[in-house]
Amino acid sequence: MQWRSLLLGLLLLRLGLQVLLGLLPALAPGLCLRRRFPFPFPPPPAALGPPGAAAGPGSSHWGSLLRRGGGGGAGGDEYERRYSGAFPPQLRARLRDAARGMFVFGYDSYMQHAFPRDELDPLHCSGRGPDRQDPSNLNINDVLGNYSLTLIDALDTLAVMGNSSEFQKAVKLVIDTVSFDKDSTVQVFEATIRVLGSLLSAHIIITDTKQPFGDMTIKDYDNELLHMARDLAVRLLPAFENTKTGIPYPRVNLKKGVPPDGNNETCTAGAGSLLVEFGILSRLLGDSTFEWVARRAVKALWSLRSNNTGLLGNVVNIQTGHWVGKQSGLGAGSDSFYEYLLKSYILFGEKEDLEMFNDAYRNIQNHLRRGREACNEGEGDPPLYVNVNMFTGQLMNTWIDSLQAFFPGLQVLIGDVEDAICLHAFYYAIWKRYGALPERYNWQLQAPDVPFYPLRPELVESTYLLYQATKNPFYLHVGMDILQSLEKYTKAKCGYATLHHVVEKTKEDRMESFFLSETCKYLYLLFDEENPLHKSGNKYMFTTEGHIVSVDERFRNSLWQDILPGEVDSAEKIKPNELKAVNFSSNCNRVPDERRYLLPLKSNYMRQIDQMVGLI
């Protein structure tokens, strides 16, 4: 690869200079072996806006807080000066409030200009629903079902931010105004993670006897959200019928079932990432149906992996089991399949799920991972996960997509923190270059292949989880950069808008619901150290849509071991106090105090990554 050629050249140059110094010691004081690269940020403690951008609102004041708080050392190189040292609590509080303000502006704009429609158009201050004129417009119709999507998706964010009055008002609005008896054809995956997951999360919050986020109870609440979740799930069940493999159809009409012209091809993530929400619903209701169909789909996909590599492709025919898309990667089409193998184990304690995940993770390391063996030592390219052919393990292309930025967060959950640090740094370097993540980035050309950014949360999610695991202030700086970029480049008249082009910074008139359910939530939690989610003693897990669910005994008990094939005996299941997922604050103090304020990745490796993405 070009990286290796570049590194070899630099090594030869360094060796030559060292020989020259040995021959000419008298000249050594006049030589500088370390090239001073032009740094892509204004060095602290100056304004801290996104790279190449003027300081955003309030940036200079945040910079003054860094000066007073002692953040950033006077010595060391540029990276150490920018990122090392303590992060002032006053600055952190201001960033927490800024993240809350971002959510409030987006949420209030939706409620004022778009509700009860599904999404907000932030440029024209209006709402949008399904595209009835063009059923083939899947970018819209897969997601929007004419059921106030953004309101539903944002419910638990209101609770996490402690806004009990608005949470209660929003829940009542959902109960009183939302119906799933609609002639809408939606993607099963999107309806599950955005709508079903949020209804279940809000129900769990309402019925929690401890009420850690404040009083989120609803007067005369009679499990309405749980009943709505069941109603929606029942309407999704036809997708699992009349399929020879058990893998569901990708889309279903909420009134009529699978369309007569239903597509027989689906992606691995879409079909295999339903188990968390369907499993929670089954265990709350005591009805095995939903978990059974979701688990059957996972096992069907798992049985189709390559005998040679153990990898799965990204698109499969649900009738024949033939792989239509043979690309194996960690981004779109595959991402949450791996995520939910692990999270299903964390939540339900089924060791079978962990065994599948461990096998999958081992195959990913063997066939997708490129670069040096260790993140923070040794020579060679930094670790990167590429797209390969599922049968041969051979490289298929030279791009990665923004969804793959979730993977460092998943690595944190299994304790592979060092590797997570390197991969996160690569995506952060791309963010620094553009002030956003392009949907698809070509690492060989050092340029976006698909240049839009729809306000995705994956980099923020991984940043939050890495901070929880390391408590390293570096990740607070990353969060500050992301927050400022969003304010500078995506803020619109009525909310926040998709970037049509990350280089030109042109906008599209769309604010996807995950901006409120995930992006704003993870930013807020990153800066809110005292949030009940961190301090209450409860254990929580985030779904792939960022909805919080409590990890407790009731989800580890099921009454249908005899019905679900291949399940282990309940005595062999993991117990709540055996869980060691590191997004729980009690398990996150893994970094010794003496390393707490050092860079998580050595500055020479950070510089190497910045070179790789064209920053320097």
Eight-class DSSP state of 368: T
* The pLDDT value given to residue 5: 53
Long-range contacts of 64-69 (CB under 8 A, 24+ apart): 65/90, 65/91, 65/94, 66/91
Within 13 Å, how many C-alpha atoms sit on residue 456's CB side? 25
* The pLDDT value given to residue 11: 46
Average pLDDT over residues 509-519: 98
192 is in an annotated binding site: no
d(CA 8, CA 150): 51
287 given a catalytic annotation: no
* The pLDDT value given to residue 598: 83
The reply to whether 133 falls in a domain is yes
Instruction: State yes or no: pLDDT of 539 exceeds 80.
Output: yes
Enclosing domain of residue 481: 85-557+590-613
Least Cα distance to 384 among 361, 360, 407 occurs for 407
439 given a catalytic annotation: yes
> pLDDT, tens digit, for every residue of 286-295?
999 999 999 9
Average pLDDT over residues 540-545: 98
> pLDDT, tens digit, for every residue of 115-161?
999 999 999 999 999 999 999 999 999 999 999 999 999 999 999 99
Residue pair 499/436 in contact (Cβ under 8 Å)? The answer is yes
* The pLDDT value given to residue 568: 42
> pLDDT, tens digit, for every residue of 244-267?
999 999 999 999 999 999 899 999
* The pLDDT value given to residue 215: 97
Share of the chain above pLDDT 90, in %: 77
Query: 128 - beta bridge partners?
Result: 119
The reply to whether 31 falls in a domain is no
* The pLDDT value given to residue 559: 63
Overall size of the chain counted in residues: 616
**Which is catalytic among the residues 224, 335, 353, 487?**
335
Average pLDDT over residues 185-210: 98
d(CA 524, CA 567): 38
The reply to whether 49 falls in a domain is no
**Which is catalytic among the residues 291, 353, 381, 439?**
439
The reply to whether 147 falls in a domain is yes
What residue ranges in 126-182 does DSSP mark as E strands?
126-128
Number of domains, the chain: 1
* The pLDDT value given to residue 327: 98
Average of per-residue pLDDT values in the chain: 86
The reply to whether 472 falls in a domain is yes
* The pLDDT value given to residue 560: 58
What Rg, from alpha-carbon coordinates, does the chain have? 24
Instruction: State yes or no: pLDDT of 277 exceeds 80.
Output: yes
Eight-class DSSP state of 241: S
Share of the chain above pLDDT 70, in %: 81
How confident is residue 601, by pLDDT bands cut at 50, 70 and 90?
Answer: very high
More confident residue, 572 or 69: 572
Residue pair 292/558 in contact (Cβ under 8 Å)? The answer is no
DSSP per-residue string spanning 68-132: HHT-S-SSS-HHHHHH-SPPPHHHHHHHHHHHHHHHHHHHHHHHHHTTTSSEEETTTTEEE---T
512 given a catalytic annotation: no
What CATH number did the domain enclosing 219 receive?
1.50.10.10
Q: Would you state the structure tokens that stand for residue 227, as one six-digit string?
A: 């009943």
Average pLDDT over residues 557-561: 66
Q: How far is CA 139 from CA 102, 126, 362, 372, in A?
A: 25, 18, 33, 38
* The pLDDT value given to residue 578: 46
The reply to whether 577 falls in a domain is no
Of 35-39, 298-302, 436-440, 528-532, minimum mean pLDDT range: 35-39
* The pLDDT value given to residue 563: 52
How confident is residue 572, by pLDDT bands cut at 50, 70 and 90?
Answer: low
The reply to whether 34 falls in a domain is no
Strand, coil or helix: what is 265?
strand
DSSP per-residue string spanning 297-356: HHHHHHHTS-TTT----SEEETTT--EEE-EE-SSTTTHHHHHHHHHHHHHH--HHHHHH
373 given a catalytic annotation: no
Eight-class DSSP state of 239: G
The reply to whether 445 falls in a domain is yes
